[in-house]
Amino acid sequence: MHIKTIVIGSMLTAITGVACAAQEPPPLVSPAWVAAHSCKPGVVVVDVRSHVGGGGNQFTYLSGHVPCAVYSDYAKAGWRVKEKGIPGMLPPVGQLDKLIGGLGIDNHTHVVIYSAGTNALDMGSATRVFWTFKVLGDNNVSIMDGGYKAYVEGKYPVKRGTQKAKTAQFNGHLDHALLASEAEVEQAMKSGKVQLVDNRPMSQYLGVTRPPMDKRAGTIPGAANLPQGWLTVNDGGEFRSIAQLKALYKEAGVGTSGEQINFCNTGHWASLGWFVSYELLHNKQAKVYDGSMAQWTSNPALPVETKIKLSQAH
């Protein structure tokens, strides 16, 4: 990637208006909006803080959370499962229906998700859960921009203890238009007509470092690199402005329209890239490769491009 100096605009202001029933709610809502609506009928705020990205755990939630927010540990509650040895995969629809319904959410609930807001890795917890709702055909979902960190910094009300949810009926229907399979990615690689976007750190993209879940170092041949840390302000919990995002996409050689497949190691960072492309830049042809490099590199028949080859000699 050729790096040059670029001028980028101001920070993104989260949408604060209340979505009317006839349209989808905004993908981002501000902490102020959440403080005003967290206990309103028809709204369920979900705290997904976990150890991912240093976000915390259930004790962190019990020590302080958005009033009326229910807790669902992103890493342990069942949002992702190991399938055929591949970690972090999308669970069966029925399993997700039970998980979501247990949080007091039905198909008419406006769901607002928040993570800790510590960094882009942590915000990936929120975007992955957001994508899960979308892939289940539920568009009535938002993310609190900046996460819990921004909420606390705004000095909004905090509640201790737990919030018990009354079980509801949720019925999801898998939307394959948002989900790319291994076969689809292979076809996209061969055709060169679909943009493949690697949302991992550059060192992993180049093949300098290999995460433990990947069998081989490198990336999918032909993929562009748009690191997850570029998508939030200073690699924090607040998403960048549209102007900044467009400038960074251009620098990375990634388009803001057309067929696109986002991937990482297990579909976590990829959900962050997808969220920016699909929701903030309005590219409705963006998908997530759920298996990502953990699945891709486990298949020896699939090629991996290592842009920097290191000698094995010490």
Q: Over 60: is that where the pLDDT of 282 sits?
A: yes
* pLDDT of res. 312: 61
| Tens digit of each residue's pLDDT (9 = 90 or more) over 160-219 | 999 999 999 999 999 999 999 999 999 999 999 999 999 999 999 999 999 999 999 999
Query: Strand, helix or coil at 29?
Result: strand
Residue 103 near residue 77 (C-beta atoms within 8 A): no
| Interatomic CA distance for residues 235 and 241, integer angstroms | 13
CA separation, residue 121 to residues 13, 49, 80, 215, 269 (Å):
21, 12, 16, 22, 7
pLDDT in the model for residue 66: 98
CA distances from 200 to 154, 219, 279 (A): 31, 10, 20
% of the chain with per-residue pLDDT over 70: 92
Which pLDDT band holds residue 310 (cuts at 50, 70, 90)?
confident
**Do the Cβ atoms of 45 and 112 come closer than 8 Å?**
yes
The token pair that represents 50 in the structure block:
């976990």
What is the pTM (predicted TM-score) of this model? 0.92
Contacts of 159 (CB under 8 A, 6+ apart): 64, 65, 66, 67, 68, 69
Side-by-side strand order, sheet with 141-144: 28-29, 141-144, 110-114, 43-47, 70-71
φ/ψ (deg, to 5) at 30: -80, 160
In the prediction, which pLDDT does 313 show? Answer: 47
How far apart, in whole angstroms, are the C-alpha atoms of residue 52 and residue 285?
A: 28
User: Could you tell me the two tokens for 251?
Assistant: 């620098």
Closest CA to 283 of 272, 294, 274, 292: 274
Residue 24 pLDDT grade (very low, low, confident, very high; cuts 50, 70, 90) = confident
Mean pLDDT (whole number) for 250-275: 98
Nearest CA among 147, 67, 70, 65 for reference residue 101:
70
Mean pLDDT value across residues 14-19: 39
Tell me which DSSP letter residue 270 carries: H
**Ramachandran sector of residue 77 (left: φ over 0; alpha: ψ -120 to 50; beta: rest):** alpha
